C-alpha cells in the first residue's frame, strides 16, 4: 500500500520544527516511536519536518536508538532557541508544573497528557500561553486516544453544551466488567487488572475516582469557560461495589459503571459528580466495557453525540499528543483550541439533586417497619440473599435520601445511584 505521504501533493516542507520530549516512560517513548514510525505522513500533514531534538530523563538508556538525544538537564532544553514545542510526559505536578510554566513564559508551546496538572493549573497555563503567543494543548489529558477536547471547541463550536456524561477510566471499567461477566469479587478483579498492566501497584487514583474526577474537571471547565476545581466535585470510587450488587443489577437488566457527570441547569448552575451508577440498556454507555472509555455529550442543536475508544495506553495517548503537535505546527505555535478563564465556577450543592437509588439493607424487622415510612412508594426487589432486603427508591433529593438512610435503625449495606 502506498504511503499517504506519497499520495498527497505538496510543494515540500517549509522548515524543521524541533521538539523536546520530557519523560521517556510509557507515553514519552510512545511519542518518539510514532514520530519515527510515521515520520513521512506526519511531516506531510503538518507541513514541516518534526524532529525530536531532546529527550529529558534522569535515567540512562544504553543501547536505545535515541540514547544520543537523552539528557537530564532541563536548562539545556529550555535555553535552546531551536526548541519550539515541548511535550510534557513526566506526569504529576512537580516538576511538570515548573517546567511547563517556564516554557510558556519563553514562548515555547507545551503539549501534555497530564490531567493532574491541567486540572490543577490549566487556567493559569492557558493564560500564559495566550500572553506569550504560544500554545498549551492537552487533547490526551482526558480521553487518552479518544478525541474530545478538539470536538468540544471546534466541531461543536455552534453548540451550547448542556451535559457531559462519560466513562473516563479504563482501569475501573475493566474491573467492573470483570465482576459483571465472571462474578468475580472486587479484589479478584483488581488483581487481574494489575496482572495485565491495566492497574498500578497502588491503584488508589483510579479506584477511588480521583483520576476520573480530574478529567471531569477539565471537561467541565471547557464546557463552562470557567475554572472548575476538581477538589469541589463530589467523588466516590468503586471499592464498595460487590458481586452481590451485580447480581441485583443483572436481575434488573442493568449494569454498573463509574460515571463522570457534569450538567448545566436552566439557571446556568453546574452540577457535577463522579460515582458508580446503575444504568439500563437504553443508555448509550451501557455496552461500554473492558478497558474502553466513552464520552456522551448533549448539546442544544446536535443533541447527543458520543466519542468512544481506548482511553489510555502507550500508543493511543501518544497519538493524541502528536495530533496536538501537528495542530501547533500548522498554526505557527498559536493554536487557540482550548480556553477557560481564572474565574471559579461554583458547583451546585449535591444534596439538591434529584435521583433514584438502589438500596441494600439488613433484613431486620426494625428496618422493614421504618422503610415504609422513610421511603414511601419504594419498590421491593426479588430476594437474592435471605439476610438482605433490597429495593429501589423513586426520585428524591440526595439530602433527603441521606437523611432517611440515617434514620434506618440498622442502617444499610450499600446504595448505588441510578441514571
The CATH H-level superfamily of 157-309 is Dihydrodipicolinate Reductase; domain 2 (3.30.360.10)
Buried (b) or exposed (e) across 55-90, using 16+ Cβ within 10 A?
A: bbbeeeeeeeebeebbbeebeebbeeeebbbbbbbb
C-alpha cell read off for 75: 536548562
In the chain, where the domains are located:
4-145+316-330, 157-309, 350-418
Residue 337's CB: how many other CB atoms inside 10 A?
19
> Which residue has 501547533 as its cell numbers?
328
3-class secondary-structure state, position 38: coil
Q: Please identify every residue annotated as catalytic.
A: 215
Q: To 5 degrees, how large is the angle CA 160–CA 165–CA 168?
A: 125
Q: What is the pLDDT of residue 350?
A: 87
Q: Which residues on neighbouring strands pair with residue 418, listed in sequence order?
A: 278, 356
3-class secondary-structure state, position 269: coil
Residue 118, phi then psi, degrees to nearest 5 = -65, -40
Question: CA 303 from chain center: how many Å?
Answer: 22
Q: What is the pLDDT of residue 390?
A: 97
The answer to whether 104 and 128 have CB atoms below 8 angstroms apart is yes
CATH hierarchy code of domain 350-418 = 3.30.70.1150
Cis peptide before 96 (omega within 30 of 0): no
How far is residue 105 from each of residues 73, 131, 135, 136, measured CA to CA in Å? Answer: 19, 8, 11, 11
Between CA 178 and CA 139 the distance in angstroms is 29
Q: What is the pLDDT of residue 337?
A: 62
pLDDT by residue for the chain (419 residues), tens digit each? 444 343 333 444 457 999 999 999 999 999 999 999 999 999 999 999 999 999 999 999 999 999 999 999 999 999 999 999 999 999 999 999 999 999 999 999 999 999 999 999 999 999 999 999 999 999 999 998 899 999 998 889 899 999 999 999 999 999 999 999 999 999 999 999 999 888 889 999 999 999 999 999 999 999 999 999 999 999 999 999 999 999 999 999 999 999 999 999 888 899 999 999 999 999 999 999 999 999 999 999 999 999 999 877 899 999 999 999 999 999 888 766 667 888 999 999 989 999 999 999 999 999 999 999 999 999 999 989 889 999 999 999 999 999 999 999 999 999 999 99
The answer to whether 173 and 215 have CB atoms below 8 angstroms apart is no
Of the candidates 40, 52, 34, the residue with the CA atom closest to the CA atom of residue 13: 40
Of the candidates 3, 88, 68, the residue with the CA atom closest to the CA atom of residue 42: 3
Helical ranges in 346-385 per DSSP H? 365-374
Q: What is the pLDDT of residue 14?
A: 55
The answer to whether 352 and 381 have CB atoms below 8 angstroms apart is no
Between CA 400 and CA 269 the distance in angstroms is 21
Of the candidates 57, 4, 66, the residue with the CA atom closest to the CA atom of residue 32: 66
CATH number of the domain at 4-145+316-330, out of 3.40.50.720, 3.40.718.10, 3.40.640.10, 3.40.50.1000?
Answer: 3.40.50.720
C-alpha cell read off for 188: 479478584
Question: CA 137 from chain center: how many Å?
Answer: 15
3-class secondary-structure state, position 351: helix
3-class secondary-structure state, position 322: helix
Q: What is the pLDDT of residue 336?
A: 62
C-alpha cell read off for 231: 477538589
Of the candidates 297, 348, 10, 275, the residue with the CA atom closest to the CA atom of residue 159: 297
> Which residue has 432517611 as its cell numbers?
404
Of the candidates 119, 78, 124, 116, the residue with the CA atom closest to the CA atom of residue 99: 78
Q: At what angle do helices 314-330 and 39-46 cross, to 10 degrees?
A: 30
Amino acid at each position: 500500500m502506498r504511503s499517504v505521504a506519497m499520495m498527497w501533493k505538496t510543494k515540500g516542507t517549509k522548515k524543521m520544527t524541533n521538539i523536546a520530549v520530557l519523560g521517556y516512560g510509557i507515553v514519552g517513548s510512545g511519542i518518539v516511536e510514532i514520530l519515527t514510525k510515521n515520520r513521512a505522513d506526519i511531516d506531510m500533514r503538518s507541513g514541516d519536518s518534526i524532529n525530536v531534538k531532546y529527550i529529558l530523563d534522569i535515567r540512562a538508556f544504553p543501547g536505545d536508538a535515541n540514547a544520543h538525544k537523552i539528557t537530564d538537564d532541563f536548562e539545556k532544553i529550555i535555553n535552546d532557541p531551536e526548541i519550539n514545542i515541548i511535550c510534557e510526559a513526566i506526569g504529576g505536578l512537580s516538576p511538570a508544573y515548573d517546567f511547563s510554566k517556564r516554557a510558556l513564559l519563553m514562548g515555547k508551546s507545551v503539549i501534555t497528557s497530564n490531567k493532574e496538572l491541567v486540572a490543577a493549573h490549566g487556567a493559569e497555563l492557558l493564560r500564559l500561553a495566550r500572553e506569550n503567543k504560544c500554545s498549551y494543548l492537552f487533547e490526551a489529558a482526558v480521553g487518552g486516544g479518544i478525541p474530545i477536547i478538539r470536538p468540544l471547541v471546534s466541531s461543536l463550536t455552534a453548540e451550547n453544551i448542556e451535559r457531559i456524561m462519560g466513562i473516563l477510566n479504563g482501569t475501573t471499567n475493566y474491573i467492573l466488567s470483570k465482576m459483571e461477566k465472571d462474578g468475580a469479587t472486587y479484589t479478584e478483579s483488581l488483581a487481574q487488572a494489575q496482572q495485565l498492566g491495566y492497574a498500578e501497584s497502588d491503584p488508589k487514583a483510579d479506584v477511588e475516582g480521583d483520576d476520573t474526577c480530574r478529567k471531569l474537571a477539565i471537561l467541565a471547565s471547557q464546557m463552562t469557560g470557567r475554572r472548575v476545581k476538581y477538589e469541589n466535585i463530589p467523588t466516590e470510587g468503586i471499592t464498595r461495589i460487590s458481586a452481590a450488587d451485580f447480581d441485583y443489577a443483572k436481575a434488573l437488566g442493568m449494569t454498573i459503571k463509574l460515571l463522570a457527570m457534569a450538567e448545566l441547569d436552566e439557571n446556568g448552575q453546574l452540577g457535577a459528580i463522579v460515582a458508580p451508577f446503575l444504568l439500563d440498556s437504553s443508555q448509550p454507555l451501557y455496552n461500554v466495557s473492558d478497558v474502553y472509555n466513552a464520552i456522551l455529550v448533549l448539546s442544544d442543536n446536535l443533541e447527543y453525540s458520543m466519542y468512544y475508544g481506548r482511553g489510555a495506553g502507550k500508543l493511543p495517548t501518544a497519538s493524541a499528543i502528536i495530533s496536538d503537535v501537528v495542530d501547533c505546527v500548522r498554526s505557527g505555535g498559536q493554536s487557540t483550541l482550548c480556553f477557560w478563564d481564572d474565574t471559579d465556577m461554583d458547583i451546585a450543592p449535591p444534596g439538591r439533586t434529584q435521583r433514584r437509588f438502589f438500596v441494600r439493607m439488613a433484613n431486620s424487622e426494625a428496618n422493614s417497619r421504618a422503610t415504609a415510612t422513610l421511603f414511601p412508594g419504594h419498590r421491593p426487589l426479588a430476594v437474592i440473599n435471605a439476610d438482605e432486603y433490597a429495593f429501589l427508591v423513586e426520585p428524591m433529593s440526595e439530602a433527603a435520601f441521606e437523611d432517611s438512610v440515617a434514620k434506618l435503625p440498622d442502617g444499610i449495606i450499600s446504595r448505588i445511584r441510578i441514571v
